[in-house]
Amino acid sequence: MASSTSLVRIPYRPAEVLPKTIPPLNLFRMLAHSPSTLPHLLSLGTACFRDTSLSPYTNELVSLWVSRRTSSDYHWKKHVPTAKATGLTEEQILAVASGNVQAASWSEKDMALLSFLDAVITGPEVSNEIFSKAREHFNDQALVEVVVIQVRGIPKGYNEVSNFSMLKPNVRPGLLLQHGTGCDGFWRRL
């Protein structure tokens, strides 16, 4: 796999250091610098993308919103194809990219989620009005999953790693076809 280690701040670990079941995505090769945390991050990633009550559509909407809010080009590029596959429209993706959610057609449920996410991200508190609107559409489990796992967990942490290290997305088409689009294909197959 071609990687340009001269453009990243920390060189990628060789793919051979990853467990055999882990695809050699640049993200995982970067995280392999911390072998004691890698298995735990992968476990949390599994919970984030496979074991929650959230629909794939909701997962991808959250991932795109958090990627935009944390300025993670790496995760944005990884999640756009999956977001399209789960039903987000080009118009919605462009609205998220611009930060102008009013520029797209959203369901009431989507707007409640985006308002809730934005309030959680900007914090420290979520107003009763925003929380009540989110709760009309999401049960307690889903709200906790969105906050703990999505906003404060995997996407935010991975985005921060990709941003500080200047991680580059994998672009080899065979890798994406073999392991799905980005991490999602991998997480959903574990």
Report pTM.
Answer: 0.73
Which one is predicted more confidently, 5 or 149?
A: 149
Q: What is the DSSP letter of 8?
A: S
Residue 163 has pLDDT above 70, yes or no: no
Residue 97 tokens, joined: 């990219």
pLDDT at 178: 32
Q: Are 68 and 59 in contact (CB under 8 A)?
A: no
Alpha-carbon gap, residue 125 to 131, rounded angstroms: 10
pLDDT band at residue 150 under the 50/70/90 scheme: low
- For residue 155, give every residue at least 6 positions away whose Cβ sits within 8 Å of its Cβ, in sequence order, or none: 48, 62, 63, 66, 67, 70, 72, 75
Print the SS3 string covering 139-178: CHHHHHHHHHHHHCCHHHHHHHHHHHHCCCCCCCHHHHHH
What does the radius of gyration of the chain's CA atoms come to, in whole angstroms?
17
Q: What is the pLDDT of residues 6-42, one digit of tens each?
A: 578 899 999 999 988 888 888 889 989 999 988 888 8
Q: Which domains does the chain have, with CATH numbers?
A: 51-187 (1.20.1290.10)
pLDDT at 182: 41
Residue 4 has pLDDT above 50, yes or no: no
